[in-house]
Each structure stands twice: as structure tokens, then as C-alpha cells.
Amino acid sequence: MIDKVTNYNIYFDVCAVLFDLVFLILVVTRKKVKGRRDRVFMYMVLTIMIAAMMEVGTSLIRNGDWIMSNYWRTIINVLAHFFQNSVSFLVYMYVLQIFGVLRHLSFKRKVFISIPEMALMIFLLVPQLRRLIFYYDEAGIYQRGPVNKWFYYWVILVYTIAGICALMKYRNRISKQDFMAISHFVIAMILSIFAEGFFPGMHLRITIFLQSLCFFGAYICLENDEEAIDNETGLLSRYSLWNDLGLMYESEYSSYLISVNVNNYEYYLQTIGSKRMNILLKNVSQWLAKLSSDKVSVYHPKSGTFALVLYDFDRDNALKFADKIRGRFIDEWIVEGASVFFQPLVKMTGVPEQICQDDQLYAFIENGSIEGMIMNSVNFIDEVSTGQRRLQIEMALDRAIKNDTLQVYYQPIYDVATGRIRSCEALVRMYDEELGMVSPEEFIKVAEKTGQVNFVGEIVFEKVCQFLKEYTPQKYGMDYVEVNLSTVECMNPLVPSTIRDLMNKYGVDKSQISLEITESAVIHNKETMANVMDNMQRAGLSFALDDFGTGNANFSYVLDYNFDIIKIDKTFLWAADGSEENAAILEAMLQLIKGLKRKAVVEGVETEKQRDYLVSKGVEFLQGYYYSKPLPEREFIDFIRRYN
């Protein structure tokens, strides 16, 4: 039996098979995290590749180049019809997925929109119905049934109209650029269907090749991994999180957003090094990527923070899922033989019940912790504050760093033995045109959480060096300036070299700088702290321990570090004024410092009574408003010139 010999031109179909095969490999290998949208796109490419293969087969049969029985001819033609017609169905699914609608469709709606596709399948599988589309006669010649063209174009027409309606209905959910790209993609797909009609009599099989080119264009314009994928982890990016959640703000379906903030991320980054941390980050990302599915998307919105969106979960199952993530994060992670234990803060909230706008999403992701939340537990956030004040401070800090408007004030430190001002503490100040003067206690906390504190610290240290070079306060009897180091800076092994470079740049002598380190920084990690201090002490720098007594450690840890000066926080002095018990605590701290042969500075001296009391207890240095508030450079120089 032979088919009626027809000269079908199959070169475009052969090219389409090869092109789609390479294209599919590209999509599979480049897509590190495969969500529902990625799967739909890959199904489209795979479907059109199989359709091209089947069309090559049917063309070879009709050209007489492939001889086989009617049974196998029928099977190949059934597959060709099914996959060719399924392309329009998958294109419609893809359009719905881009608008964020597909994952929220109920089962009934999915069945409804699949009716033309299911009808096609039934017609192709049932012999009596299949004869209405095509059949092979006894001579082995292909015959078109009475509804062949009608059925083919009917399926395409249904999904084309549905796709256009979806474009019009949901156009405001995506950017204008993406809307135009989708519109052009749909129009090109429609035109490709009629392309073969422009070459009558040539039997040119060009439709599938043109549709393959359309898919490639959509991949370039709509599946841009440079924006959608985070290069550091291979997870979905911050851009993807904002884009995907933006499609859900007006959704009628309940979903949940989980945020995992690793509080000691910066600590491990500094202690185990960037190379090991990158390996660890990949291990964590690979574990999270395994959770990705049609109902779960995984993101890496910023350093030390991961996010997951659970689509159409009920609250109980979402909490169980979040607890599974929490359990893995608090468990041991191994990187090159080293054990790492994270301190995760796991938050969960509803979308769109609790989060229905971008500023709420920003506040939920950016705020590392919210008052009342419990570490190593799943915290459900019933109300997400936009954190407007914090956002304003962060933006103001960005402006201050960019425009170099941070200022350094100097507060005198009184030397009891000489009766002179021998040193001072450098204190950063920020004035913003929109917010006015912002308290250091407020913006330093924001800087530490956003990673801006390293820039702030370097700016402050450089301004102190400029001050020492330009104003030469040593001429007026001042020996050194105390400069604060934040917790994050103390964990950074690059800080010693930065400090040395700046001192060399401005010709500042090592004796003119003393570094103040808070107790919390010391507690953070003894080994790293010891290494940082050792490097700077070898350069001749001295150290003062700031805010002694306010941390979580006992007095014994002071023995572990070589501090020249220990500063007692002002709260102990103020508490001692009205309580004998508190006065006893203060005196015990002073005796400890004296017994260790260290010098003491007491902060917060505001009255003559406090001064006399501290002098009677043998305190060497006093600091507070009784002597002076923090002053700008020129005013400070004028003050010490008069005082000394």
C-alpha cells in the first residue's frame, strides 16, 4: 500500500526539529529554577518539536519515501494532528501563566478551557469520529474527512479568541513593554498558521518553523533570566518576587509568603570567608530549589534572606511547610568540613490578605525582625506595617553617602589627673533635607541591617583623619580621638588594612587614634575579634571597650582582650544616683577595672554631684554634657583651646 505521492517540501520542518532540539536544551540547561511558567514554556517547545517530527513523518509517507501499513500511518497522523493542534492550547496556557492566572484556576475552570483540546483527543482516538477528520482508504491514500479543515481551525480559533480576551482583561497586571511583547507573539503565531496559504501548489511545510521562531522571540523578550534569576544562587530574583507578588494583590485566592532571614549571615561571611560562604550559599539554594513546584516558588531577594511563595495553600499546611524550612535551617550545614549553624528568623504572612501592595512587601522582606517575633520559630505576621520611617531613613542614608553629607561631631573627654581635655569621641551625625536631623541610634541600626554601615564607618574614619591633619588639635593639648567600630566592621578582616591606608594617606600617627569597640561586638565571635584586634594592635593602635556592662556576657571576658580603656555606659551612672544597690554595682565595675590595671571612662556625666562622686571613686576620665555636648569641628577646636 502506498500513499498518493505528493511533493511536500519538508526542509523547513527538518530545520524546525533541529532548531527546537537545540532550543529545548538551551531552555532546560539555563533555567535553574523551574516554576510553572518555565514548565509551560518547555512544554510548548517540546510539543512543537514533536509536531515538527510528526509532520516530517507524514510528509515522507505522502511523498512515497516511507512505506508502511495503514495502521502505522494512522498512528503517525494522529500524533501529528494532536501535537499541531495542541500548540494553540499551550500558547493560551502560557499567556494565562504570564498574567499569574493559570495557577489560581479551579479544577472546573481548567476542565472548561480544556474542552476543545479534549474534544480533539476524543475525535482522534475514536475511529468512527476520526474518519470525520482523516482516514486512509484501501489503496493506502490519505483522505481528508468532511470536518478536517473546520476542526483544525475551530480549535485554533477558540484558543485565539480566549487568548485575546485574556490580553485585554489582564493587561494592567504587567508592564507595557511585556504586554506589547505578548501581543506581538500572539499575532505572529496567528499569522504563521496561514503562512502556507501564501505558497499555493508548493506544498511548503513552513508553519511549524515560523512558530518555532515565534517561541524563540518570546524566550528572548519574556523569559529574560538576567532579571528573573539571581546569579549568586540560581534562585528566582528579587525582581521576580516583586513581579510575581504584584500579580496576586487583587487575587481572589489565598496564598502565603515565607521569609527566612539568617541573622548571623554577615558573621559567617566574615569568619569562614567569601569562598566557603559561596559554597554554603549554593548548598542552601540547591536544597531550597528542590522545594520548587507548581505551587511553590523560591526566591533570593537579598543577601542573607530567602523567600518562598506558596500558592493556594491553606494556613495549616503553609505553617507546616514553613516549619519544615525552619527545621532545616537550624540544623547543621557542612561546608568543606566546617559546621555552620544559622540563626533563622522565619516569618510568614498572607497574600493578598496581609500584603496587597509593594510597600508592604518591601517592609516584610527588608525588616529583618519585628518586635515580639521569636528566633528559630515560625512567626505569622497578621499585619504588615509599611515601615515607612525605616524606608525614609534608608533612602536618606543613601543620599548622605552618595553626596558625602555625613558629619562628624566631637565630644570632649575630661582627664581628671591633669584637669584638661586630653581626648574626645568622634560621633557621626546625619542631617537630611527631607527628614531633618536623624538620631544616630536610629540610622546606625538601619545601616547595620542594610549593610551600609561599612560605608558609614569608612567615611567617619576618613573625616577624623582629615580633622587631625587640618586642625592639628594636638597643639591644644589633645592626645587622641576615639573612633567607634560597629559590630559588622569588627567582623570584617579587611578593616585593618583600610584603617592603615587612610592613616597613611593623611599622615596620621598611630598614637592619635583609639578604636572604640562595643561589648556586643566582642561577644559576637572571640576568634575573629581577636584576629582583627591583633592586626590593628600590631599597627600600633589602642583600643577602648565601649558601653561596658550593657551586653550579655559576664565580666570575665574582659580578660580575653587587651583594652587600654574601658568605658562604662551612662545608664549605670544615672541608676546609681537613686539607689544604693545600683551604686554598689557601679563601684564593683570600677573596682574590677582598677584591679585589671585598665583605665575607666564613665559616660553620661551631667551634674557637678556626679563629677565629684566619680572623682572620689578614682575614675580617670569623664565624659558628658557637664563638660560639653558633641561639637562640630571648628566649635570643638575653639572649645579645647579655651578650656586647656
Residue 2 confidence (pLDDT): 43
Instruction: Point out the domain boundary residue: 223, 250, 275.
Output: 223
Query: Both 609 and 635 in a single domain?
Result: yes
Whole-number Å distance between alpha carbons of 630 and 481: 13
Query: Both 213 and 235 in a single domain?
Result: no
Give 3-state DSSP helix, strand, coil % of the chain, rounded to 5. 55, 15, 25
- Grid cell, residue 627, equals 563638660
| Domain membership flag for residue 260 | yes
Provide the b/e sequence for 244-280 (b: ≥16 CB within 10 Å): bbbbbbebeebbbbbbbbbbbbbbbbbbbeeebbeeb
| Higher pLDDT pick, 249 / 504 | 504
pLDDT above 90: residue 360? no
For residues 473 and 507, the answer to whether their CB atoms sit within 8 Å is no
Residue 276 confidence (pLDDT): 83
Query: Both 378 and 484 in a single domain?
Result: no
- Grid cell, residue 335, equals 561546608
pLDDT above 70: residue 578? no
| Domain membership flag for residue 403 | no
Q: pLDDT tens for residues 373-402?
A: 776 678 888 776 655 667 778 888 988 998
| Domain membership flag for residue 439 | yes
Q: Which residue in the block uniquely carries the three cell numbers 499569574?
A: 100
**Cross-strand bridge partners of residue 437:** 431
Q: pLDDT tens for residues 157-192?
A: 899 899 888 888 877 767 677 788 888 998 998 888
Residue 370 confidence (pLDDT): 54
Residue 5 confidence (pLDDT): 47
CATH number at residue 235: 3.30.70.270
pLDDT above 50: residue 576? yes
SS (H, E, C) 111-163: HHHCHHHHHHHHHHHCHHHHCCCEEECCCCCEEECCCHHHHHHHHHHHHHHHH
Query: Both 322 and 419 in a single domain?
Result: no
CATH number at residue 51: 1.20.1070.10
pLDDT above 50: residue 509? yes
pLDDT above 70: residue 202? no
Domain of 439 in residue numbering reads as 410-643
The least confident of 174-188, 376-390, 573-587, 614-628 is 376-390
pTM across the whole model: 0.51
Whole-number Å distance between alpha carbons of 103 and 317: 18
Residue 386 confidence (pLDDT): 55
Whole-number Å distance between alpha carbons of 569 and 123: 84
Residue 474 confidence (pLDDT): 92
Closest CA to 116 of 145, 150, 140, 146: 150
The least confident of 69-78, 132-141, 409-418, 458-467 is 132-141
| Domain membership flag for residue 470 | yes
The least confident of 31-35, 261-265, 471-475, 480-484 is 31-35
pLDDT above 90: residue 110? no
- Grid cell, residue 520, equals 556586643
Instruction: Point out the domain boundary residue: 161, 190, 223.
Output: 223
CATH number at residue 585: 3.20.20.450
Q: How confident is the model at residue 329 (pLDDT cuts 50, 70, 90)?
A: very high
Task: Classify residue 588 by burial, with Cβ atoms within 10 Å: 0-12, 13-18, 19+.
Answer: exposed
- Grid cell, residue 416, equals 581628671
Query: Both 209 and 265 in a single domain?
Result: no
Query: Both 276 and 146 in a single domain?
Result: no
Category of 304 on φ-ψ map: left (φ > 0), alpha (ψ -120 to 50) or beta = left
| Domain membership flag for residue 524 | yes
Query: Both 119 and 234 in a single domain?
Result: no
| Domain membership flag for residue 82 | yes
Residue 524 confidence (pLDDT): 52
Query: Both 203 and 112 in a single domain?
Result: yes
The least confident of 64-68, 111-115, 501-505 is 64-68
For residues 545 and 514, the answer to whether their CB atoms sit within 8 Å is no
Residue 525 confidence (pLDDT): 59
| Higher pLDDT pick, 385 / 291 | 291
> What's the domain count of the chain?
3
DSSP letter assigned to residue 433: T
Query: Both 267 and 334 in a single domain?
Result: yes
Query: Both 206 and 279 in a single domain?
Result: no
Instruction: Point out the domain boundary residue: 386, 420, 449.
Output: 386
Whole-number Å distance between alpha carbons of 118 and 102: 18
Q: How confident is the model at residue 369 (pLDDT cuts 50, 70, 90)?
A: low
Residue 555 confidence (pLDDT): 59
What is the chain's mean pLDDT, rounded?
84
| Domain membership flag for residue 532 | yes
Query: Both 130 and 177 in a single domain?
Result: yes
| Domain membership flag for residue 265 | yes
pLDDT above 70: residue 90? yes
Query: Both 573 and 466 in a single domain?
Result: yes
| Higher pLDDT pick, 64 / 114 | 114
Residue 4 confidence (pLDDT): 47
pLDDT above 80: residue 532? no
